[in-house]
């Protein structure tokens, strides 16, 4: 395992962590370091102007910072061109963009769309809408008892020649790290277009989209130490060039006439209206921060925490933990305590200043597969410590005491 970093020193960068709360809900939204907040404040106080539209200095500074953040994302993903980096509001909008634009242009009646049972609703519902509209078919890859995707089922479905394959890089409920490179290669060999949900993958593993070979990749800023309301869709240039716009309006046009319009080139074609300028700048600062720590070091830190947490939680009687061993997961642990609903568990843990997620995690089909209505989920990130996991375990024991 790689040498890690000084977590206690790093935590000083995060204002919310100074409140004393054990924040174990980073898969939901991560905390933001001062460097991100300060980058956004510099925009608001120093050059708060719109982009691409004006010739005065503040507007030029805003445009430079906004487009500079795009260049940082391009390098982070190792995309071939900055034209392949589209700003969105988050992973959900990125996937919907593909469904509405590429999907409505390419999916036909009878086409097969392959998904997995562990997908977030944002990687299920858009495809349900599209399949219903086009008369396409949906098929799902199941998980085994360890929470790993059934690769035998995946290969069987690929033999049916799917038009589209969509899967998550990392499960937001089980923490499972899927073999995304191998799955992409197999799907491409079967002739499918591939979309990867990177909401949980980008912050913890990163990706080289050229090496992986995926066609689309989406992630959100607020899960990688950035602000809410900003995300990224990567798409291969030749696919994006052929796709119609997702939205119409200002900044996505080259020329507008009464009865027809010439669209702007990539990436502006998919960025209608005034964008989330401060948030894009914040995302660029977040990419700088995470890369400064190092994704390999972050992943090693999380796996060490997961191993520690799984061992500690195994001592809590009546607790069922879902998902694979620490070696096969990111820093996400979902649990079910006998006799205590996750919402009650979360409320009791909050009395201990321990923050977790309670609910179906936007993965209701997976909850049904696991046989529970909801889970209590603890999730870690680069700033999480073992002491916080100890507080989680103590809170669980207190919940058991309260419920008898």
Contact 205, 366 (CB under 8 A): no
Alpha-helix residue ranges (DSSP H) falling in 190-332:
201-204, 209-212, 237-242, 277-293, 295-313
Dist CA 334 CA 311 (whole Å): 14
Dist CA 329 CA 379 (whole Å): 11
One of 166, 214, 225, 362 is an active-site residue; which one? 362
Dist CA 384 CA 390 (whole Å): 11
Q: Reduced to 3 DSSP states, what percent helix, strand and coil does the chain have, rounded to the nearest 5?
A: 45, 20, 35
Task: Check if 362 is active-site.
Answer: yes
Contact 331, 204 (CB under 8 A): yes
Phi, psi of 72 (to 5 degrees): -65, -40
String of DSSP letters for 97-155: HIIIIIIHHH--TT-EEEEETT--GGGTHHHHHHHHHHT-EEEEE-B-TTS-B-HHHHH
Name the β-bridge partners of 321: 335
**How many CB atoms lie under 10 A from the CB of residue 108?**
9
Angle at which helices 34-46 and 57-77 cross, to 10°: 150
Q: Which residues contact 116 (CB under 8 A, 6 or more apart)?
A: 140, 141, 142, 143, 149, 167, 168, 178
Dist CA 49 CA 12 (whole Å): 31
Q: Which residues contact 342 (CB under 8 A, 6 or more apart)?
A: 335, 336, 358, 359, 374, 375, 376
Nearest alpha-carbon partner for 191 in 153, 156, 163, 151: 163
Please compute, for residue 187, the number of CA atoms within 13 A of its CA located in the half-sphere on the CB side: 28
- Give burial (CB, 10 Å; 0-12/13-18/19+) of 353: middle
Question: Which residues are the active-site residues?
Answer: 362
């Amino acid at each position: 395992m790689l040498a890690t970093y000084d977590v206690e020193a790093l935590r000083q960068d995060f204002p919310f962590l100074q409140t004393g709360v054990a924040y174990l809900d980073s898969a939901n939204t991560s905390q933001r370091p001062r460097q991100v907040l300060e980058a956004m404040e510099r925009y608001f106080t120093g050059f708060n102007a719109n982009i691409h539209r004006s010739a005065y200095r503040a507007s030029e500074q805003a445009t430079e910072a906004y487009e500079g953040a795009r260049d940082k994302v391009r390098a982070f993903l190792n995309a071939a061109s900055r034209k392949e980096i589209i700003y969105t509001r988050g992973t959900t909008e990125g996937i919907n963009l593909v469904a509405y634009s590429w999907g409505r242009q390419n999916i036909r009646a009878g086409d097969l769309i392959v998904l997995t049972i562990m997908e977030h609703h944002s990687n299920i519902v858009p495809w349900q809408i599209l399949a219903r509209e086009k008369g396409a078919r949906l098929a799902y890859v199941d998980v085994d008892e360890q929470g790993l995707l059934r690769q035998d089922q995946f290969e069987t479905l690929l033999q049916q020649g799917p038009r589209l394959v969509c899967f998550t890089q990392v499960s937001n409920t089980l923490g499972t790290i899927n073999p995304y490179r191998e799955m992409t290669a197999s799907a491409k060999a079967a002739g499918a277009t591939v979309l990867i949900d990177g909401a949980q993958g980008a912050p913890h593993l990163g990706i080289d989209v050229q090496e992986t070979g995926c066609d689309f990749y989406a992630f959100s800023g607020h899960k990688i130490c950035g602000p809410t309301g900003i995300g990224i869709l990567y798409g291969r240039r030749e696919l994006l060039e052929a796709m119609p716009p997702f939205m119409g309006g200002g900044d996505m046009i080259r020329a507008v006439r009464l009865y027809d319009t010439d669209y702007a080139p990539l990436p502006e074609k998919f960025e209608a209206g005034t964008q989330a300028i401060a948030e894009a700048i914040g995302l660029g600062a977040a990419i700088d921060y995470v890369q400064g720590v190092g994704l390999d070091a972050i992943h090693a830190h999380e796996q060490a925490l997961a191993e520690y947490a799984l061992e500690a939680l195994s001592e809590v009687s009546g607790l069922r933990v879902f998902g694979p061993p620490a070696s096969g997961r990111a820093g996400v642990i979902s649990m079910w305590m006998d006799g205590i609903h996750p919402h009650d568990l979360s409320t009791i843990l909050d009395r201990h200043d321990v923050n977790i997620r309670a609910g179906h995690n936007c993965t209701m089909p997976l909850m049904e597969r696991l046989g529970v209505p909801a889970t209590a989920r603890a999730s870690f990130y680069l700033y999480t410590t073992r002491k916080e996991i100890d507080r989680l375990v103590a809170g669980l024991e207190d919940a058991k005491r309260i419920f008898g």
